[in-house]
Amino acid sequence: MCINVHIYMKSARKASRQLLQALDCVLDPAVFRVLSEEVRIDLFKFLLLKGPADVGTIASAFPVDRSVVSRHLSMMEDVELLRSEKLGRSRIYSVDLACFIETFEEGAKVLRELGKITAGKS
């Protein structure tokens, strides 16, 4: 998910193609699929507000089974919304906020550039 998008424009057509490719990178459907589940958004918010925590601590704050929480956390880690670290027998999860922000900032840049190109076509 952490992708630094560099766009070199030589023509409007080529720039548009490059921007669309960049957009595919930053608007990863897997990320949106993960964020489409309310419980995962709640888990994300919990970790943002409470900070790093193990599965047991996180699960105790939610009305779902620990194994379900673990599966959701794993899915979020797969798309780089979270990171985890093994600490003894526990796995500590935390939000990869820098990566999350970078991804959406890059997406906003690409959308702005696409807006400039499409505005010139009307």
Q: Is residue 51 part of a domain?
A: yes
Q: Is residue 8 part of a domain?
A: no
Q: Is residue 122 part of a domain?
A: no
Q: Is residue 91 part of a domain?
A: yes
H/E stretch holding 84 reads: strand 82-87
CA distance 98 to 122: 37
pLDDT tens digits, residue range 52-80? 999 999 999 999 999 999 999 999 999 88
Residue 16: per-residue pLDDT: 67
Q: How many CA atoms within 13 Å lie on the side-chain side of 13? A: 0
CA distance 97 to 65: 26
Q: Is residue 120 part of a domain?
A: no
pLDDT tens digits, residue range 5-22? 444 444 556 666 777 777
**Domain extent at residue 100:** 30-113
Which residues does residue 94 pair with via DSSP β-bridges, in sequence order?
A: 83
Q: Is residue 21 part of a domain?
A: no
CA angle 53/83/57 to nearest 5° reads 15
Please state the domain count of the chain.
1
Q: Is residue 3 part of a domain?
A: no
Are 114 and 120 in contact, with CB atoms under 8 Å apart? no
The domain that contains 36 carries what CATH number? Answer: 1.10.10.10
Tell me: pLDDT of 1 over 60: no
